[in-house]
Amino acid sequence: MLKHLDKITDCRSHINQEHDVIDICFLVLSAVISGAQSWADCHEFGTLKLMWLRKYRPFANGIPSQQSIGRIFRGVSKQSLLDALLSWVNEHRLSTGLSSIAIDGKVLKGAKASASSAALHMVIAYDTGSGLVFSAKSGASKKSELKLVQELLMCLDLKSELLTLDALHCQTQTLDYIVKKGGHCILQVKGNQPKLYEAVQAQFTDYITNTPDAECFTQDDKGHGRVEKRITFQCPLHLPAEIKMKWSQLKTLIAVERHRKVGNKTSIDTHFYVSSAVLTSEAFGKAIRAYWQTENNQHWLLDTLFQEDKQKMYDEDGASILAILRCRALNLVKLHPAKTNQNQKFNRACWSDDFREEIIFGAGQKV
């Protein structure tokens, strides 16, 4: 893990480098894994755990104040921090052929430049196979999400990757870039692309009416008083010439028919997707389901374990860096094989130096 932290670039002038940036990154990551939610918490953790921290890093000048921790991170290149995260995660991602990556956005409700300004917005690249976040970008508000995703894609090696994105990112620029870089994508289609949406809807209606034995894949799910069935259909996409010219990279139409029963109420709705890939209904259905599970597997955990939406921080850079390190901490905890839930793993990391070491340095060791 420490070899990846060495990739982080310290942009401070030499005379301001009283504390080594790798020391402080290690301090904050260890503190976050142990429950820290602010620079003040990180300082307190470091003060109490300095002897433990010095087993791995020198901390020649001790632990900086909470204000100094914030200043140190303002001098850190966020891109180098993301590069360190990316290089580490790439060693742990599952090698299963065409990987499935969910690109999704999240508002950090408590992170604002001022009490009256818009909350910080972050987009993440989430590997649905391994459950790991491997890159992220942040911006001043949700309005910046489209630009953030396009910047995020430029940082990733997209070759042989299958990316899933929501309707906001159903854009020819995004599609063409992914395909140009050797990847494929699944894009949800809604009314923000009216001509494409109408064409897709019309083709599916005709297809399902005239193809009684249409290939499909069914997934069943139940819990919390609801029963849900998702039926995924796919067929070659045939667009009118004027639309085809604009969306030339698209190959497949996908429709997900969702049947939900909550109590005595039943509802049926259909969601449409298009893709540059040619896969089975099962492959598309699983990739789309994995995308929507990101909400539970990542966003919900960040809010539950770290109280992320409640964190008040008016320093945009600090809030962004803490969010990146929370993703890194959650990655490490997910990889630990202890047969308990993630919350208990965080508790054990707080209570036990040995368990914290296993999470950070020896996630493959069973306990």
Domain ranges (residues) in the chain: 2-80+317-361, 85-304
12, pLDDT greater than 80: no
Q: Which of 327, 318, 324 is nearest to 67 (CA)?
A: 318
pLDDT category of residue 288 using cuts at 50, 70 and 90: very high
Considering the entire predicted model, what is its pTM? 0.87
* Arithmetic mean of pLDDT over the chain: 88
pLDDT of 127 > 80? The answer is: yes
- Residue 6 scores a pLDDT above 80: yes
What pLDDT is stored for residue 106 in this prediction?
A: 83
pLDDT at site 176: 97
Quote the CA–CA distance of 285 and 128 in Å, as a whole number: 13
Q: Quote the pLDDT of residue 315.
A: 67
Residue range 36-53: average pLDDT?
96
* 100 pLDDT more than 80: yes
Q: Which band of pLDDT confidence, cut at 50, 70 and 90, is reported for residue 366?
A: very low
The mean per-residue pLDDT over the stretch 22-29 comes to 94
**pLDDT tens by residue, 304-339:** 788 766 656 656 677 888 888 888 889 899 889 999
Q: Which CATH homologous superfamily contains domain 85-304?
A: Transposase Inhibitor Protein From Tn5; Chain A, domain 1 (3.90.350.10)
Question: Which range has the worst mean pLDDT, 16-20, 299-303, 336-340?
Answer: 299-303
User: Which pLDDT band holds residue 365 (cuts at 50, 70, 90)?
Assistant: very low
Q: What is the pLDDT of residues 60-99, one digit of tens each?
A: 999 999 999 999 988 888 888 888 877 887 777 654 445 6
Q: Above 80 in pLDDT, residue 1?
A: no
Considering only residues 321 and 273, tell me which one the structure prediction assigns the higher pLDDT.
Answer: 273
The pLDDT assigned to 53 comes to 98
Confidence of residue 282 (pLDDT cuts 50, 70, 90): very high
pLDDT on residue 85: 76
Instruction: Specify the pLDDT at position 367.
Output: 35
Asked which of 9-13, 206-210, 224-228 is least confident by mean pLDDT, the reply is 9-13
**Stretch among 201-210, 214-223, 233-242 having the lowest mean pLDDT:** 214-223
State the SS3 of the chain. Answer: CHHHHCCCCECCCHHHCCCCHHHHHHHHHHHHHCCCCCHHHHHHHHHHCHHHHCCCCCCCCCCCCHHHHHHHHHCECHHHHHHHHHHHHHCCCCCCCCEEEEEEEEEEEEEECCCCCCEEEEEEEEECCCCEEEEEEEECCHHHHHHHHHHHHHCCCCCCEEEEECHHHCCHHHHHHHHHCCCEEEEEECCCCHHHHHHHHHHHHHHHHHCCCCCEEEEEEEECCEEEEEEEEEEECCCCHHHHHHCCCCCEEEEEEEEEEECCEEEEEEEEEEECCCCCHHHHHHHHHHHHHHHHHHHHHHHHHHCHHHCCECCHHHHHHHHHHHHHHHHHHHHCCCCCCHHHHHHHHHHCHHHHHHHHHCCCCCC
Task: Please report the pLDDT score of residue 192 as a whole number.
Answer: 96
Taking the C-alpha atoms of residue 23 and residue 18, their distance in angstroms, rounded to an integer, is: 11
Least confident of 74-78, 110-114, 134-138, 350-354: 110-114
In percent, how much of the chain has pLDDT > 70? 90
Does 111 have pLDDT greater than 70? no
- 353 has pLDDT over 90: yes
Strand pairing of 184-189 and 161-165? parallel
